[in-house]
Structure 1
Amino acid sequence: MDLILWRHAEAEPGDVGLPDLQRALTSKGIKQAKRMGQWLDSQLPENCRILASPAVRTVQTAEGLGRKYKTHAALVPGAEAEAVLQAANWPAGKETVVIVGHQPTLGQVAALLLTGQVLDWEMKKASAWWFVQRDPEEPVLLKAVMSADLVVK
């Protein structure tokens, strides 16, 4: 199974008086989402499943991919790493899954996949981490880490 963790792009600060789930992307964030979305679209198989947190900023980030996606309540800010893996059906799923979510949860999922422990690893805004596990007897592999800043325009 392939699992891509995609952190939402740059969003409005949390102190602007909006409820957290209503915070939108900044103009820079919209550009980041489109750049990373174009890169992901060129790499992903046609039949992948895309799940996003219901927060406005993650929905806007997912829209940068230009594919159909579904929001999933288990991906809200502050979600448990295990809940994210369950939503993705990791590692039993057969299809590639893209999760568009939040820190610190996505960093914790990455750490859990690679170390077996929930640790607070940092993921840069708009970055994507691509994990692969073909055989449950084999270790999880980190296939790629890509930042929106590295995508060629």
Structure 2
Amino acid sequence: MDLIFWRHAEAHEESADGTDLARELTSRGLKQASRVANWLDRQLPDGARVISSPAQRALQTADALGRKYKVRPEIAPDASAQALLDAVQWPHGKGVVVVVGHQPTLGQAVAQLLQAQIAEMPIRKGAVWWLRTRERDGQRQTVVVAVQAPETV
């Protein structure tokens, strides 16, 4: 299974209605999302599943990809890494899944999957971490396939 964590792009600090879920991307964030989406679309197979947090900034980031996606409350801001991993059925799910979400949840999930000695990996706004599970010598491993930031694509 391939699991791609895509942190939402740069967002405004506040929303018009004052709620966190309504925060929208800045003009810079829209450009970041577009750049990464163009790169990601070229890499993804046709059958890749995309899921997004219900937060407006994540939805706008997912929209940039131009593919259908499902909104899952399990990956809303402040969700747990385990809730996210359960939502995507890691590591037993099939195919490629793109998760558009938030820090610290994404960074915690990456750290957990890579068995890092830190609580969370820093993931920049708009960046993608592509992980893959595989079997080697009878043991399951998680490997990093790619890490991309908006500035490098």
**TM-score under structure 2 length normalisation:** 0.93
Structure 1 or 2: larger strand share? 2
- Describe the superposition over 1:112-146 as per-residue Cα deviations: whole angstroms up to 9, x where unpaired: 00016771221000000000012272310011100
Matched residue type, 1:132: R
Q: What residue number does 1:127 align with? A: 127
Q: Secondary structure at the match of 2:77?
A: coil
Work out whether 1:141 is the aligned partner of 2:143.
yes
Q: What residue number does 2:74 align with? A: 74
Work out whether 1:41 is the aligned partner of 2:41.
yes
Q: Secondary structure at the match of 1:4?
A: strand
Q: What are the residue-to-residue correspondences of 1:12-27 with 2, within 5 Å?
A: 12-14=12-14, 18-27=18-27
Unaligned residue ranges in structure 2 (runs of 5+): none
Q: Secondary structure at the match of 2:57?
A: helix
Q: What residue number does 2:65 align with? A: 65
Cα distance in 2 between the residues matched to 1:67 and 1:12: 24
Q: Secondary structure at the match of 2:110?
A: helix
Q: What residue number does 1:31 align with? A: 31
Say whether the 8 Å CA contact 1:9–1:126 is kept in structure 2. Answer: yes
Moved more, 28-37 or 8-17: 8-17
- Describe the superposition over 1:10-64 as per-residue Cα deviations: whole angstroms up to 9, x where unpaired: 0001487620000000000001001000100000010011000000000000011
Q: Secondary structure at the match of 2:140?
A: coil
Cα separation, partners in 2 of 1:132 and 1:121, compared to 1, 3 Å: same
The percent of aligned pairs where both chains have the same amino acid is: 48
Residues paired across the two proteins, number: 151
Q: Secondary structure at the match of 1:38?
A: helix
Moved more, 22-31 or 112-121: 112-121
Q: Secondary structure at the match of 2:4?
A: strand
Deviating beyond 4 angstroms after TM superposition, the runs of 4 or more aligned structure 1 residues are: none
**TM-score under structure 1 length normalisation:** 0.93
Matched residue type, 1:57: R
Q: What residue number does 1:3 align with? A: 3
